[in-house]
Amino acid sequence: MRVGVPKEIKDQEGRVALTPAGAAALAGHGHEVLVQLGAGLGSGFADADYAAAGARLVTADEAWAVDLVVKVKEPLASEYGYLKNQLLFTYFHLAGVPRELTEALLAEKTTAIAYETLEDGTGRLPLLAPMSAVAGNMAALVGAYYLARNHGGKGVQLGEVLGVRHGKVLVIGDGVVGTHAARSARGLGAEVVVAGLDPAKGESLRRDIAPDIEFFISTPELIARHVADADLVVGAVLRKGAKADYVVTEDMVRSMQPGSVLVDVSIDQGGCIATSRPTSHTHPVYELHGILHYCVTNMPGAYPRTSTLALTEATLPYVLKLADLGLEALREDAGFGKALNAYQGHLTCRPAAEALGLTERYRDFATL
């Protein structure tokens, strides 16, 4: 199979979908690997590294004109013209990105295989996890940065000063993002409160991170109470393939102290804070109701070397299966099959179809 790796073009996105080691692995399976010139530079991989691994360096047109395209982020509008009846393996987040992307995928009958809905044998999301971990770590760090007075914040440091903790961080969500955000915030020295749905998660957070982490079962009333005096709120809500639920209302945002910070990591799936809207690394924050909102849709792109290495370690086994077996890889592995979001002009992910109001375009992959 011919496998293409285009250069990412999203704002300040330095990640690449395949390392030179991954290119060598594909070449070792007998596949032709076409890497766009400069695709790996942001992650510290030179063109010569790919050439030495057996890849061919090509233009963007050539990297897209293949059997299987492997990317990191969803195609942007300027890339829709490259969409054909090929396999495309990347993060899509169809429920949270412009509907035009879905329409383009369906019109071109592109086979859209999404990292974020692929499941392992236990129902977990192994290709979402590494980037969720990076984003969770980042959430505490960027929150601390923007709380500084000279960055527009209220001037509260998340940290311990001579034995006294300063700053309250509310993390809404007890999954991978939430756990990493809580660990980073507690590591800085802040008071950490986590809202979740599984009481056992509270026990594991206190055991694995710190015994003084507060955990409560998420309800609108309790979230409202903790949002009001939080210095930093991290939104880490996930619904597989679907739009995130708003768990922080606009009234809750209005109740916060001026200069507080919101980091909505759920923004890829539409956001879990009612006042959130997508931002970029170039323009990462905006102020609304006196509160700084950070809603960057490709947070891990700020740390491309770490992110690329973590991501490709998780994705490469699946890329190899796709290259070796094509769609049979998805038919043989039910969890891999859940990664299929669009096929032959139909949506095959029901939550995405419902979020987009396109249920009439939904078909079960097994029937196609």
| Residues carrying an active site annotation | 93, 268
Residues in CB range of 176: below 8 A, 6 or more apart: 128, 129, 132, 133, 136
The answer to whether 31 touches 319, Cβ cutoff 8 Å, is no
Q: Are strands 340-343 and 111-114 parallel, antiparallel or unpaired?
A: antiparallel
Question: By the 8 A CB rule, do 341 and 92 touch?
Answer: yes
Residue 306 structure tokens = 């770490």
- Measure the CA–CA gap between 185 and 239, rounded to whole angstroms: 24
Residue type at 322 in one-letter notation: L
Q: Token match 């309800």: residue?
A: 219
The structure tokens listed for 334 are 């039910």
d(Cα 270, Cα 97) in Å, to the nearest integer? Answer: 7
Tokens representing 198 are 């599984």
- Do the beta carbons of residue 353 and residue 361 sit within 8 Å? yes
SS3 content of the chain, % helix, strand, coil (to 5): 40, 20, 40
Nearest Cα to 116, choosing from 137, 134, 104, 130?
Answer: 130
Burial of 51 (0-12, 13-18, 19+ CB in 10 A): middle
CA–CA separation, 87 and 211 (whole Å): 47
Lookup: tokens for 62:
């050539």
Q: Which residues of 212-249 are buried (b: 16+ CB within 10 A; e: fewer)?
A: ebebeebeeeebeebbeebbbbbbbbbebbbbbebbbb
How many angstroms separate the CA atoms of 145 and 303, rounded?
16
